[in-house]
Amino acid sequence: MHYNVFNGDADGIIALLQLRLAQKSEIPCLLITGVKRDINLLQQVDCSKATSVTVLDISLEKNSKALDDLLLANIPVFYVDHHRTGDVPQSPLFTSLLDTDANTCTSLLINEHLQGQYVHWAIAAAYGDNMHSSASILAKKIGLSEFQQGQLNELGTYINYNGYGQEISDLHFHPADLYTVLLDYPNPFTLIEQEGSVFSKLKIAYLDDMEKAKAAKVLSDNALVKTILLNDEPWARRVSGVFGNELANQSPDKAHIVVTLNQVNSHAESNTESEQSYTVSLRAPLNNKQGAGDICALFPTGGGRAAAAGVNQLPSAMLNNFIDAVAKYYQ
């Protein structure tokens, strides 16, 4: 059985979408994905059943042990990603497209691999991953109008927005289900123009959540970094990443931190401040897209790429240290 393992955000979903559309035939496979921050996905592959594996948009560094196990079991792996790699395995069974440049993403790497067969989808993914400059350059290269660019920007943003949440129940669509729906649309403009489509449903939900986010508490704001606090609510968990992207686009010379209070154990006798933790989304300044992944990797459960990264469970006592580390890096 072939396994497709992919991040549940716009980049991961659309990377697989391009590959699947290009195959032009049904290939039996199992899908492994989850919320955007669930990146330890490769360990879910059953080595006793897998005949081959495709891995898209999840950090090789975070999945190195599971990858080594697959290769030791003589299972071919095709790995495409733009996050931190760590040590890259040397094996005839391992084929990869790895590029940690801050201006590329997995779907753009797949677009090059497929020689632009589904370039409109790749552009939507780049917009969704907040790589507006790269998306716009490619869009202009193929002659898309500003209106069309705006449509693909919306589509990528809404698909990306759907991937954020602490658990699947926070999302509007399971990423695997959303991917399956999108398979019916080789041309994304058909989806955008269709009344009542998932595009329309996600747009309505996105605009509603973003309106709530605009009233969120500002924890700190200076020339170097702005920090926003969101409450422990499903809408806040859904919007944390895309809200950070919007803030980054509004103030491209400043780093942005969006902090969401994590759910606490309701069955515990007491929940002290020391037990509280935050989900953190960090966006490097758009005019200086570096360092975000390195900063987050300094903290427990942290990681990511140069332009955008996060921490899944930052102890509340470490929040000020995190903010200070961001300010120090970009000063």
Mean pLDDT by 10 residues, the chain (331 residues): 97 98 86 93 96 96 95 98 92 97 96 98 96 97 98 98 93 98 98 97 97 93 96 90 91 96 56 73 94 94 90 94 97 92
Could you give the 3-state DSSP secondary structure of residue 98? strand
Cα 19–Cα 144–Cα 107 angle in degrees, nearest 5: 25
pLDDT at 15: 98
pTM: 0.86
Distance CA 264, CA 279 (A): 12
- Residue 319's identity, in one-letter code, is L
Q: What is the CATH number of the domain that holds 236?
A: 3.10.310.40
pLDDT at 268: 37
Q: Is residue 231 part of a domain?
A: yes
Query: Does one domain contain both 72 and 218?
Result: no
The secondary structure of 288-306 as a DSSP string is: S--SHHHHHHTSTTEEE-S
Q: Is residue 209 part of a domain?
A: no
Distance CA 159, CA 174 (A): 11
Q: Is residue 228 part of a domain?
A: yes
Alpha helices in the chain (DSSP H): 10-23, 64-72, 106-113, 119-128, 132-141, 146-162, 175-182, 188-193, 198-213, 234-250, 292-297, 319-330
Query: Does one domain contain both 12 and 112?
Result: yes
Give the total number of structural domains in the chain.
2
Cα 241–Cα 247–Cα 250 angle in degrees, nearest 5: 145
pLDDT at 231: 87
Residue 150 has which token pair?
Answer: 């705006």
Q: What is the CATH number of the domain that holds 32?
A: 3.90.1640
pLDDT at 267: 37
pLDDT at 264: 66
Distance CA 173, CA 315 (A): 29
| Helix or strand run (H / E) with residue 56 | strand 52-56
Distance CA 300, CA 233 (A): 23
Query: Does one domain contain both 93 and 189?
Result: yes
pLDDT at 270: 39
Q: Out of 172, 204, 236, pick the residue that ends a domain.
A: 204
Q: How many CA atoms lie within 13 A of 10 on its CB side?
A: 29
- Residue partners of 266: CB distance under 8 A and separation at least 6: none
Q: Out of 177, 204, 231, pick the residue that ends a domain.
A: 204
Domain span holding position 229:
214-330
Distance CA 88, CA 167 (A): 30
Distance CA 152, CA 36 (A): 20
Please name the residue that has the structure tokens 């939507």.
124
Q: Out of 164, 182, 204, pick the residue that ends a domain.
A: 204
